[in-house]
Amino acid sequence: MKDYADLLLLLVAVSNLYIVATSRLNSCVRASAIQGAALALLPLVLWTSGFNVQLFHLAVICAGTLAIKAIVIPILVSRAIREANVRREVDPSVSLHSSVLLAGLLMGISFWMSTVLVLPRPAPTMLLVPVAFATLLTGFLVLISRRQAITHVIGYLLIENGVFIFGQTLAREVPFAVELGILLDLLVGIFVMGIAINHISREFDHIDTELLSTLKD
């Protein structure tokens, strides 16, 4: 089952690179949905063999992650894209080619960090920690390099996905209520962002955060 976990983590890493490499907002949403589906399966393949886990607990977490990360949030973000009538990331702060190079550099840094970080107990798979760091750092890169508010939502989602992956190192210690609370906070945060994006689009006819930063009272 650990081989399947590594395959899912590689899919997450590839989706990170794809998100920073494309300017199409709908493609970013689809990639984040695929990443969410992979993360929903990750606890299942990590903890169903060789460990004493509560199957009901595991099933609820996997189902909740799948519903929120792979279905509900992509639908909300796609609706915000339609309402804002924006299809592409135009003139990002950092070019797409540079973003891909930076994402590759961050991935290399993530693998280095995983070798020097001392965990309380060994990670269930060697790729877990570096992919967690890479996803987290890629989320920050998206927030910094892109100008559209919708893309910032994707960056925020990547950051949460990185935290989710790293949390699998402590999956046996984290209480069930805390895990569900994290998913609920994420859903509420994305929902609020979607509402804000719609209102911004209606008032200013754009959702370019670079232009919004120049507004005066």
pLDDT tens digit sequence for 79-116: 878 877 777 766 677 888 888 999 999 999 999 988 88
Look at 86-90, 116-120, 181-185 and tell me which has the smallest mean pLDDT. Answer: 181-185
DSSP secondary-structure letter at 117?
-
Residue 46 pLDDT > 60, yes or no? yes
Identify the residue with better confidence: 3 or 209: 3
- Measured between alpha carbons, how far is 161 from 12 in angstroms, rounded to an integer? 9
- What's the pLDDT band for 167 if we cut at 50, 70, 90? confident
Q: What are 88's strand-pairing partners?
A: 24
Q: pLDDT band for position 192 (50/70/90)?
A: low
Question: How far is residue 140's CA from residue 151's CA, in Å, rounded to a whole number?
Answer: 11
Q: What percent of the chain has pLDDT over 70?
A: 72
Q: State residue 150's pLDDT score.
A: 77
Mean pLDDT confidence for 164-188:
63
CA angle centred on 126, ends 42 and 162, rounded to 5°: 50
145: pLDDT strictly greater than 50: yes
| Burial letters 37-53, b for 16+ CB under 10 A, else e | bbbbbbbbbbbeeeeee
Residue 154 confidence (pLDDT): 86
Instruction: Using the predicted structure, report yes or no on whether residue 143 has a pLDDT greater than 60.
Output: yes
Looking at 18-27, 35-44, 56-65, which range is the least confident one? 56-65
The C-alpha atoms of residue 30 and residue 32 are separated, in whole angstroms, by 5
Using the predicted structure, report yes or no on whether residue 207 has a pLDDT greater than 50: no
Q: In the predicted model, is pLDDT for residue 163 greater than 70? A: yes
Helices (H), the chain: 2-21, 25-47, 55-65, 73-84, 96-116, 128-145, 149-167, 176-204, 209-212
